[in-house]
Amino acid sequence: MESLNALLQGMGLMHLGAGQAIMLLVSLLLLWLAIAKKFEPLLLLPIGFGGLLSNIPEAGMALTALESLLAHHDAGQLAVIAAKLNCAPDVHAIKEALALALPSVQGQMENLAVDMGYTPGVLALFYKVAIGSGVAPLVIFMGVGAMTDFGPLLANPRTLLLGAAAQFGIFATVLGALTLNYFGIISFTLPQAAAIGIIGGADGPTAIYLSGKLAPELLGAIAVAAYSYMALVPLIQPPIMRALTTETERKIRMVQLRTVSKREKILFPVVLLMLVALLLPDAAPLLGMFCFGNLMRESGVVERLSDTVQNGLINIVTIFLGLSVGAKLVADKFLQPQTLGILLLGVVAFGIGTAAGVLMAKLLNLCSKNKINPLIGSAGVSAVPMAARVSNKVGLESDPQNFLLMHAMGPNVAGVIGSAIAAGVMLKYVLAM
């Protein structure tokens, strides 16, 4: 009988909590969206599967060594940790003390847990290497750079302003999160508000990179919101675009783009990096990897490296990035009122960014002979190339012969640059406070 009882107690099902059960359902929903609905499957599939692994009871795949120690509830070991942190020897008090402790102290406690025989789970290791270090989003940005053609932007430099205007959604969302906190609706700190705001840039790697630096506790919710809304761009943007433009404006035909020389394409990433990095060094990691990837593409002398970055390398890193994000889909971090706020603010951020881009295009038309179709302003959010395709699709509805895709790619790639710069601004000024 004792053996049977021990067998039952060893089953994960016996330790399945309500929070874990809900998170397993959330993870299954993400898998369904990725497979059945094809919503950003390259990221949502590994994120969803990582969420499944993270919420298997007793497996501890997403736990650090210290978290495993706390989950074990050994009174003697808790007393040792509590003595180091100068707090009561119970799990809740230790977690509160760790949240307030310096990163160096947290590292010491993690090493102490390892010395006591605990080891981090495989997903926790993935997270530490891929996101904790910031490597995975940066490598993906390098791959995105290698796949990006700056030709449409260089052919019509005014579209850079459309990409810049679309970033207004980022900063408006930061203010929105702080407003919710001010009125006591949902509690957000300034770093958390900044991490949430970057969702408005419609740039998944940037959102993961920034939230990993500023608000790792919200990483799972922010990543899920960012990629889910990127997949919903064809549903979110068109109503806003139609509401802010007239039929006549949607029929505006833009002049043919000029041919951009090879020299211009080679010089642009180098000049861009130098200008931005010298003024805003905090943007250098993201923008540097992006420009390096683009230079490999445009130089034409390292085709093998460019091909590797565009295909094999970015695919491998995407797998580990997705599983690492899934490690944060645990009940105590995800099932919070903040998650609802993140989902709400995320869609507001997309809407504001879309509207700002369209309105900027209309403003430019007031002082320009060569009119810009305002529809391409919505492509200023950096969901590449989906936002540009949406601009083209809405334009074709008004004029079946008006092809806007290449024109929309200008603000689209400008949006990628803008989101990286916005992330640099957040890092510089938020971390300094």
Give the per-residue pLDDT at 384. Answer: 86
My answer on whether 108 and 149 are in the same domain is no
pLDDT category, 391, cuts 50, 70, 90?
very high
Burial of 215 (0-12, 13-18, 19+ CB in 10 A): buried
Tell me which residue range forms the domain holding 202.
131-431
Based on the domain organization, do 321 and 353 belong to the same domain?
A: yes
Same-domain pairing of 142 and 113: no
Quote the pLDDT of residue 40. Answer: 86
- Rounded to whole angstroms, the Cα distance separating 50 from 64 reads 15
Q: What percent of the chain has pLDDT over 90?
A: 79
Position 306 in a domain? yes
Q: Let me know whether 124 and 136 are in one domain.
A: no
Q: Is the residue at 3 inside a domain?
A: no
Nearest Cα residue to 11 out of 65, 56, 62, 51: 56
**Three-state SS at 153:** helix
> Residue 99 pLDDT > 80, yes or no?
yes
**Are both 85 and 226 inside the same structural domain?**
no
Q: Which of 159, 191, 161, 160 is nearest to 178 (CA)?
A: 191
Question: Does residue 122 belong to any structural domain of this protein?
Answer: yes
pLDDT at 364: 94
User: Would residue 225 count as lying in a domain?
Assistant: yes
Of 321, 332, 330, give the one whose Cα is nearest residue 128: 321
| Residues 113-141 pLDDT 10s | 999 999 999 999 999 999 999 999 999 99
Q: How many CA atoms lie within 13 A of 128 on its CB side?
A: 13
The last residue of a domain, from among 128, 153, 175: 128
Tokens 């080679």 belong to 266
- Does one domain contain both 213 and 300? yes
The confidence score (pLDDT) of residue 7 equals: 58
Of the candidates 128, 153, 182, which is a domain's last residue?
128
Out of 128, 143, 173, pick the residue that ends a domain: 128
Judge if 364 and 404 occupy the same domain. Answer: yes
- Please state the rounded mean pLDDT for residues 39-58: 93
> 230 falls in which pLDDT band (50, 70, 90)?
confident
Tokens coding 393: 């699709």
Residues 6+ apart with CB under 8 A from 149: 409, 413
User: What number is the average pLDDT over the span 13-30?
Assistant: 88
Per-residue model confidence as pLDDT tens digits over 74-98: 899 999 999 999 999 999 999 999 9
Residue 10 in any domain: the answer is no
Measured CA to CA, the distance from residue 73 to residue 167 in angstroms comes to: 47
Q: Answer yes or no: is pLDDT of 5 > 70.
A: no
Q: What average pLDDT does the segment 244-265 reach?
A: 94
Cβ proximity of 47 and 130 under 8 Å: no
- The tens digit of pLDDT for each residue in 283-327 reads 999 999 999 999 999 999 999 999 999 999 999 999 999 999 999
Asked whether 338 and 186 are in contact (CB, 8 A), the reply is yes
When the pLDDT of each residue in the chain is averaged and rounded to a whole number, the result is: 92
Which pair of tokens denotes residue 118?
């605990």
In a shared domain, residues 136 and 124: no
Share of the chain above pLDDT 70, in %: 97
Q: Say yes or no to pLDDT of 34 above 90.
A: yes
Residue 40 and residue 152 in one domain: no
Considering the domain architecture, whether residues 108 and 75 belong to the same structural domain is answered as yes
Please report whether residue 2 resides in a domain.
no
For residue 291, count other CB atoms closer than 10 A to its CB.
Answer: 27
In DSSP notation, 209-240 reads: HHHHHH-GGGHHHHHHHHHHHHHTHHHHHHHH
Residue 219: pLDDT band with limits 50, 70, 90: very high
Residue 134: count of CB within 10 angstroms of its CB: 16
pLDDT score, position 39: 87
Same domain, residue pair 313 and 415: yes
Examine the domain organization and report whether 360 and 216 are in the same domain. Answer: yes
Q: Which comes out higher in pLDDT, residue 234 or 13?
A: 234
For residue range 372-390, list pLDDT tens digits in order: 999 999 999 988 889 999 9
Q: What is the pTM of this model?
A: 0.91
What is the C-alpha to C-alpha distance for residues 237 and 407, in angstroms, rounded to an integer? Answer: 17
Least confident of 77-81, 82-86, 367-371, 399-403: 367-371
Sequence-separated (6 or more) residues with CB below 8 Å from residue 256: none
Count Cα atoms within 13 angstroms, Cβ side, for 197: 31
Positive or negative torsion for Cα 233, 239, 240, 241? positive
Tokens 């930061």 belong to 174
Please name the residue that has the structure tokens 């994960």: 12
Task: Provide the number of structural domains found in the chain.
Answer: 2
Within a domain: residue 5?
Answer: no
Answer yes or no: is 1 within a domain: no
Rounded distance, CA 317 to CA 385, Å? 20
